[in-house]
Amino acid sequence: MAAIREKMESVYVAVAFAERDEQEEAVRQAKADEERQERRLNGKRKDKRPRVVLRAE
């Protein structure tokens, strides 16, 4: 659910810049969103630490 909200917010920001004829900033925002999505899909952390696993015992 948070991913959908984040995507909608980033698209809204890019559209707002495009409406104000700031095409360069709109494109920059859209590319930044694509890069974030690619990093998320790759699943690798920058610090290369393993993810914490929580187990109920």
2-37 tens-digit pLDDT? 778 887 888 888 888 888 888 888 888 878 877 777
pLDDT at site 1:
63
Predicted TM-score (pTM) of the model is: 0.52
The mean pLDDT value for 33-57 works out to 73
Residue that the structure tokens 């494109």 belong to: 27
pLDDT at site 41:
65
Q: How far apart are CA 6 and CA 39, in angstroms?
A: 15
**Amino acid in the structure at residue 7:** K
Residue spans per domain, the chain: 2-42
pLDDT tens per residue, range 34-44: 777 776 666 66
pLDDT at site 47:
73
Q: How far apart are CA 50 and CA 57, in angstroms?
A: 21
> Which positions ≥6 away from 37 have C-beta within 8 Å?
7
